[in-house]
Amino acid sequence: MTVTTRTLAAAPSMLGGTIELPAYPCTHSTPRRISPWIGEPGTSGTVAVVGAGKMGLPLCGQFAGHGWRVIAVDIAPAVVDAINAGRSHVDGEPGLDELVARAHADGLLSATLDAAAAAAEADVVVLIVPVMLDDEQQPDYRYMDAAVGSVAPGLHAGSLVVFETTLPVGDTRGRFAPRLEEVTGLRSEESLLVAFSPERLYSGHALANLAQYPKLVGGLGEESRRRAAAFYGSVLDAPVVAMSSAEAAEFSKLADTTYRDVNIALANEYARYADRVGVDVQEVIAAANSQPYSHIHQPGIGVGGHCIPVYPHFLLSRAPEMELVAVSRRVNDGQIGIAIKALQKELGSLDGVDVLVLGLTYRDGVKELAYSRALPLIERLTFHGATVWACDPLLSPAEVERCAARPWTWGEPSPAKAMITQTADPLFRTIDWAWLPDLRVVYDGRNSLRTVALPESLAYHGAGVPAALRAGAR
Ligand SMILES: NC(=O)c1ccc[n+]([C@@H]2O[C@H](COP(=O)([O-])OP(=O)(O)OC[C@H]3O[C@@H](n4cnc5c(N)ncnc54)[C@H](O)[C@@H]3O)[C@@H](O)[C@H]2O)c1
């Protein structure tokens, strides 16, 4: 493993456990544009970014910001049109609007629907289209297969193709490189360079994270590895970690995300036990984490989003013997059942009961419903006969209805007898209980209301936070 060293005023702790890492400063000078680009330090070329979505567009801005000519490729005409007008179509990503506008004004960023034409012009092709799960929890390659098929006819001798989308271990070499070779007639490591470099950014912090997180790169061989590391070294300020293989880089991303899922499952089991013994799990976790080798995450109503609930299944698709990983998925998905049982404990049957769900996106502050636990929560409540109302400050009433819930307008009177917070949006802490005169029970799915004062008559359940121990609540 080779790590390009970059200096920081304060070195981050290698023990991890913090998301507040300092940013590496930019030490690049203006690069010399050359064609073809062959990885020489101080030079830049043309890069095609295939999939200009929430992750792809920040990458376009970052690459252009470091002097590369960027061609964004997308199948959505609205995305292409927005970029060609110098506009970001991605909300909630600080700095992105300005970066896209500047890159476009400088003539460094354009967009197209024509992937093959972009690949023909590019020295580097970065693929960042989603790979999700199908109904059997197996990787669903439909977008990536299509993207690979669309760029392949444009590739040429010397092209570097980098997969940034998270993939099961072995897919770069075993699934995609053979397809690229078949269509192009080029041989990997001889005339075609293929690498994997996982995207590790946190939605809403993408540009900041690009300057904070080391970039992992693994090639199919030495030349792919060297060229891919040179590319990222030229466009990123954070260190580049050139790993021994594409498989090691693929595995690293799955290891990181699955660790978090397993860790959260452990926190959820601690929370269940804490409920049973009448202890505040958050007090326990904070105390345990005061020892520097303990990094216990937070319990809650479940894990959502594109990454954490998905990638353990990528591992399991190739390594079904990983029992801990499978059990952790079940524990985390089972948290919805714990929330429903808490309501039933107070109300008995939920048949005909109005239940209000606050927060539908997979987490607060990110308008993304992918794998949000709100969706199965609503389904399960409805199955139990409840009438489900919902409110999310990031969603319109029509979007709430598409989640199979009745929209509740913040501040209006509500008939709800039960309420569940599914995200920790700070707005929910400002609730006025007078709006919900019939409310009898709250399940605090993210433990975010634990210090909010409650009416005496209201039963409170948190994830491992016994009502009696809520800090200064009543
Ligand atoms: N969203 C996150 O928080 C996050 C974080 C880290 C890593 N990632 C990685 O990034 C990948 C992409 O996630 P995202 O959030 O950017 O997705 P997204 O849905 O926001 O964007 C995907 C884009 O790809 C386009 N697209 C789909 N098929 C295409 C094709 N064949 N050719 C060209 N464009 C195509 C879509 O139109 C869309 O604009 C994920 O699968 C994951 O591996 C995502």
String of DSSP letters for 187-207 = -BTTTBEEEE------TT-HH
Distance between Cα 148 and ligand 1 center (Å): 14
Q: How confident is the model at residue 306 (pLDDT cuts 50, 70, 90)?
A: confident
Which residue's alpha carbon is at the smallest distance from atom 10 of ligand 1? Answer: 165
Q: Where are the domains of the chain?
A: 2-8+32-248, 255-474
Which residue's alpha carbon is at the smallest distance from atom 31 of ligand 1? Answer: 147
45 contacts 66 by C-beta, under 8 angstroms: no
Distance between Cα 370 and ligand 1 center (Å): 12
Per-residue model confidence (pLDDT) at position 466: 81
Which residue's alpha carbon is at the smallest distance from atom 42 of ligand 1? Answer: 165
Question: Whose structure tokens read 């894990």?
Answer: 303
Active site residues: 253, 307
Distance between Cα 379 and ligand 1 center (Å): 27
CATH topology of domain 255-474: Rossmann fold (3.40.50)
Which of 306, 310, 367 for a ligand 1 pocket mutation test, highest count of atoms within 8 Å of Cβ? Answer: 306
Report whether pLDDT(367) > 80.
Answer: yes
Report whether pLDDT(202) > 60.
Answer: yes
Distance between Cα 390 and ligand 1 center (Å): 27
Per-residue model confidence (pLDDT) at position 436: 98
172 contacts 219 by C-beta, under 8 angstroms: no
Per-residue model confidence (pLDDT) at position 468: 76
The pLDDT tens digits for 158-169 are 999 999 999 999
Report whether pLDDT(14) > 60.
Answer: no
State the virtual CA torsion across 234, 238, 240, 241 in degrees, nearest 10. Answer: 180
Q: How confident is the model at residue 7 (pLDDT cuts 50, 70, 90)?
A: low
Distance between Cα 202 and ligand 1 center (Å): 13
Question: Measuring CA to CA, how many Å separate 356 from each of 20, 125, 243, 256, 415?
Answer: 34, 46, 48, 34, 9
Which residue's alpha carbon is at the smallest distance from atom 30 of ligand 1? Answer: 147
Question: First-to-last CA distance in the chain?
Answer: 55
Ligand 1 atom nearest 165 alpha carbon: 43
Q: How confident is the model at residue 11 (pLDDT cuts 50, 70, 90)?
A: very low
Taking CB atoms within 8 Å and a gap of at least 24, the contacts of 174-180 are 175/141, 176/144, 176/148, 177/220, 179/145, 179/148, 179/149, 179/152, 180/148, 180/152, 180/155
Percent of the chain with pLDDT over 90: 91
The pLDDT tens digits for 25-58 are 999 999 999 999 999 999 999 999 999 999 999 9
Per-residue model confidence (pLDDT) at position 13: 43
Question: Measuring CA to CA, how many Å separate 364 from each of 219, 338, 374, 430?
Answer: 36, 21, 12, 15
Which residue's alpha carbon is at the smallest distance from atom 24 of ligand 1? Answer: 51
Percent of the chain with pLDDT over 70: 95
Distance between Cα 433 and ligand 1 center (Å): 40
Per-residue model confidence (pLDDT) at position 16: 43
Which of 62, 113, 127, 128 for a ligand 1 pocket mutation test, highest count of atoms within 8 Å of Cβ? Answer: 128
Ligand 1 atom nearest 305 alpha carbon: 3
Helix (H, G, I), strand (E, B) or coil at 461: strand
The pLDDT tens digits for 320-334 are 999 999 999 999 999
The pLDDT tens digits for 389-436 are 999 999 999 999 999 999 999 999 999 999 999 999 999 999 999 999
Q: How confident is the model at residue 255 (pLDDT cuts 50, 70, 90)?
A: very high
458 contacts 433 by C-beta, under 8 angstroms: yes
Helix (H, G, I), strand (E, B) or coil at 112: strand
Which residue's alpha carbon is at the smallest distance from atom 32 of ligand 1? Answer: 147
The ligand 1 site (C-beta within 6 Å) comprises 50-56, 73-76, 79, 115, 128-131, 143, 146-147, 150, 165-166, 199, 201, 203, 306-307
Ligand 1 atom nearest 56 alpha carbon: 16
Which residue's alpha carbon is at the smallest distance from atom 15 of ligand 1? Answer: 54
Ligand 1 atom nearest 130 alpha carbon: 41
pLDDT average, residue stretch 204-216: 95
Whether 2-8+32-248 shares its CATH topology with 255-474 is answered yes
Report whether pLDDT(459) > 70.
Answer: yes
Which of 50, 57, 81, 129 for a ligand 1 pocket mutation test, highest count of atoms within 8 Å of Cβ? Answer: 129
2-8+32-248 classified as CATH 3.40.50.720: yes
Q: How confident is the model at residue 9 (pLDDT cuts 50, 70, 90)?
A: low
Ligand 1 atom nearest 143 alpha carbon: 28
Ligand 1 atom nearest 203 alpha carbon: 3
The pLDDT tens digits for 184-201 are 999 999 999 999 999 999
Distance between Cα 55 and ligand 1 center (Å): 6
- Mean of the per-residue pLDDT values for the chain? 94
Which helix (DSSP H) or strand (DSSP E) does residue 170 occupy? none
Which residue's alpha carbon is at the smallest distance from atom 19 of ligand 1? Answer: 53
Distance between Cα 250 and ligand 1 center (Å): 17
Report whether pLDDT(240) > 80.
Answer: yes
Q: How confident is the model at residue 19 (pLDDT cuts 50, 70, 90)?
A: low
Report whether pLDDT(17) > 80.
Answer: no
The pLDDT tens digits for 97-156 are 999 999 999 999 999 999 999 999 999 999 999 999 999 999 999 999 999 999 999 999
Per-residue model confidence (pLDDT) at position 21: 79
The reply to whether omega before 299 is within 30° of 0 (cis) is: no
Give Cβ neighbours of residue 63 (< 8 Å, ≥ 6 apart). 47, 49, 70, 235
